[in-house]
Amino acid sequence: MENKNNQVVWVIGHRNPDTDSICAAITYANLKNQIEPGNFIPKKAGSLSEETKYVLERFGVEEPETVLNVGTQLKDIDFRRTDGVSSHISLKKAWELMKTEDVVTLPIVGVNNRLEGLIVNGDIAYSYMDIYDNQIMSRARTQYRNIIETINGHLLTGNEHAYFVKGRVVIASGACSIRKEIAEDDLVILGDVKERQLVALEQNPSCMIVSGVRTVDQEVIDRAAAIECILIATEYDTFTVARMVHQSIPIKAFMSKEKLVTFDIDDYIDDVQEVVSKIRHRDFPVLDQERHYIGMFSRRNLLNTKKKKVILVDHNEKSQAVEGIDEAEILEIIDHHRIGSLETIQPIFFRNQPLGCSSTIIYQMYREKGVEVTPKIAGLLLSAILSDTLMFKSPTCTAVDVRVGKELAEIAEVDYKELAMSMFEAGSNFKDRTIEEIFYQDFKTFAAESMTFGVSQVSAVSENQLKKIRDDLQDYLNQVMVDKNLDMVFVMLTNILDQRSEVIFAGQKAENVMRMAFPGKEEREGLYGLAGVVSRKKQMIPKIIEGIQQL
């Protein structure tokens, strides 16, 4: 069972986050870290609006890391973090490592731990059973150190770091035929008979292995040194040496190095399972983003995944949640919206109150838990409330929001009216921002009956600022419907000071929905002017749903 002191929990708001979503994640993570064991980390599910950037910069708070998917990844499973091996080690050494590690696959790495290839136990079996070639050791450039290690030999003369690169492997059988059996540069294996050893050296072999002894006559050593022949003695008998010497071949001669099936540490388990289900391999390498080798996993490892633990703030609808939410373990939800479509496997802590802002709820929880609200935390909470309630003017604003907001202004030592206007002006600065960025700075999707629709809200402190972007936004809506697979899209162009919104829309049935949702309201060239309508949650979404239901 996981130790709660070590568990990591992400606190995250909805996609296309607004100021409340970000500030709620930061402040609630801070609260949880002070009252519960674990590591609670604020995250964001999209880019920040200019308004939110202003708030974080003003109060000196670091921007949370962006997370676009909370699905289970390879990094969340207990895969084997075994070390990679050099391509120069012998087949025998590789086999011993497989037995020791209880694995059937070894990863082969080179400089900077980059993956070069793989070798499986079947490759080693093939090298024993299906190779009938007495020159394979030289073609594989077998290092003499490998040979010495494999046959438990003793180097009597020569350089163990040199390589056997030319010639055959020959067993010298008889005194009369030995000159015919051995050619120059061969590797010769023979027994402890001095005369045969000297005759063999006359043929200038690259290496001579003498079996059944720990050393040989000094004359033989001197002769071998004179012709730069590697001389090795081993206590193994000739049959054993002949059987084992091929096990000294470096694994690079048999490893697989083309079309390797590898996975990134950040790959999602669903994608991984789809690939491995079509491949018969037992094990698969895991690499980091720079393609460095990290470890190996098998299909069995995929059965023991650890879901990411998350706390959701400022939303409770699946369509607004970060991708992969079905694969995550939701621990809590803190929200002030209608009850949505998210489902959990087990009961969770769900706090939902009819207030103007999620951060108002979080402030209440600070007070309930007796945790100090610092000026920095107060500034974030206050900014969120001012943003969501449009400086206490939105119909969603309650007396609780107003009281809490004024308390927070005192703690943060700020003039809430000045703060609000500074935030709104930052958010209304559309210069150097694309229409896509403006549209998605505060966008949410919803479902009603069998239809899906999206609503974006773009707020400004003057009518002229909104007029400058209105036509470009209208042209962009059809692209949004295609990208998000929606039936309809609406944009609220909200004038914060005049407390009114103009609504533009796209979609085959969008105009009929607006007509039914706001009967008698002014319509002009596909644009509805709605005086007093500034709240998407309370004034726009319920009306659109009613309009859809009347179709």
Spatial distance between the Cα atoms of 221 and 198, rounded to a whole number of angstroms: 10
Distance between first and last Cα of the chain: 53
What is the helix (H) or strand (E) element at residue 284, kind and residue range?
Answer: strand 283-287
Least confident of 28-42, 275-289, 534-548: 275-289
Q: What would the mean pLDDT of 124-129 be, rounded to a whole number?
A: 78
Nearest residue to 385 via CA among 405, 363, 414:
405
The pLDDT assigned to 224 comes to: 96
Residue with tokens 């209304």: 428
Q: What is the pLDDT of residue 134?
A: 86
In three-state secondary structure terms, 259 is coil
Check residue 521 and give its pLDDT: 75
Structure tokens at 541: 């979404």
Mean per-residue pLDDT, 415-428? 94
Q: Name residue 444's beta-bridge partners.
A: 455
Confidence of residue 426 (pLDDT cuts 50, 70, 90): very high
Q: Whole-angstrom Cα distance, residue 524 to residue 61?
A: 44
Q: How many other C-beta atoms lie within 10 A of the C-beta of residue 17?
A: 28
Tokens of residue 7, six digits: 């568990």
Helix/strand/coil percentages in the chain, nearest 5: 40, 25, 35
Q: Which long-range contacts does 323-327 make (Cβ < 8 Å, 24+ apart)? A: 323/68, 323/69, 323/70, 323/71, 324/69, 324/70, 324/71, 324/72, 324/268, 325/70, 327/70, 327/71, 327/72, 327/269, 327/270
CB atoms near residue 451 (< 10 Å): 18
- CA 380 from chain centre, in angstroms, equals 29
Q: What is the mean pLDDT of residues 348-354?
A: 96
Could you tell me the pLDDT band of residue 141, with boundaries at 50, 70 and 90? very high
Mean pLDDT value of segment 368-394 = 97
119 forms bridges with which residues in the sheet?
A: 106
Mean pLDDT of 490-513: 93
Residue 341: count other Cβ atoms within 10 Å of its Cβ: 12
3-state secondary structure 23-57: HHHHHHHHHHHHHCCCEEEEEEECCCCHHHHHHHH
Give 402's pLDDT tier (boundaries 50, 70, 90). Answer: very high
* 242 residue type, one letter: A
Q: What does the pLDDT read at residue 368?
A: 98
Say whether pLDDT at 163 is over 90. yes
Count Cβ atoms below 10 Å from residue 5 Cβ, excluding itself.
9
List Cβ<8 Å contacts ≥24 apart for 190-196: 190/238, 191/238, 192/216, 194/219, 194/220, 196/172
Portion of the chain with pLDDT greater than 70, in percent: 97
Task: Render pLDDT for 14-35 as a digit per residue (tens, 0 to 9).
Answer: 998 999 999 999 999 999 999 9
For residues 490-498, give the mean pLDDT.
93
- Six-digit token string for 91: 């087949």
pLDDT(4) > 80: no
Q: Is the pLDDT of residue 340 over 90?
A: no
From 456, 466, 395, 361, select the one nearest 424 (Cα to Cα).
466
Is residue 102 left, alpha or beta, with left meaning phi > 0 and alpha meaning psi from -120 to 50? left
401: nearest Cα among 392, 393, 410: 392
Q: Going by C-beta distance under 8 Å and a sequence separation of 6 or more, which residues neighbour residue 164? A: 137, 138, 141, 142, 143, 144, 147, 187, 206, 207, 230
Q: Does residue 184 contact residue 207 with C-beta atoms inside 8 Å?
A: no
Q: Quick one: pLDDT at residue 239?
A: 92
Torsion of CA 238, 240, 241, 246, to 10 degrees: 140
Report the C-alpha gap between 280 and 262 in whole angstroms: 14
Q: What is the pLDDT of residue 176?
A: 59
Mean pLDDT throughout 282-302?
89
DSSP for 178-247, please give it: HHHH--TT-EEEE-S-HHHHHHHHTT--SEEEEES-S---HHHHHHHHHTT-EEEEESS-HHHHHHHGGG
What digits encode the pLDDT tens for the residues 247-262?
999 999 999 988 899 9
For residue 111, count CB atoms less than 10 angstroms from its CB and return exposed for 0-12, middle for 13-18, buried for 19 or more. exposed
Residue 287 above 90 pLDDT?
yes
Task: Give dist(CA 15, CA 18) in Å, integer.
Answer: 9
pLDDT band at 300 (very low <50, low <70, confident <90, very high): confident
pLDDT of 175 higher than 80: no
What rounded mean pLDDT belongs to the chain? 92
For each of the domains in the chain, give its residue range(s) and CATH number, in order of start: 8-71+308-427 (3.90.1640.10), 76-128+253-303 (3.10.580.10), 141-248 (3.40.1390.20), 435-549 (3.10.310.20)
Alpha-carbon gap, residue 353 to 358, rounded angstroms: 8
| Cα separation, 466 vs 459, whole angstroms | 8
State the pTM of this model.
Answer: 0.72
Residue 370 has pLDDT above 90, yes or no: yes
pLDDT category at 130 given cuts 50, 70, 90 is: low
Determine the pLDDT at residue 82: 81
Structure tokens at 446: 């919803």
| Statement: residue 111 has pLDDT above 70 | yes
**Residue 271 CB-half CA count within 13 A:** 13
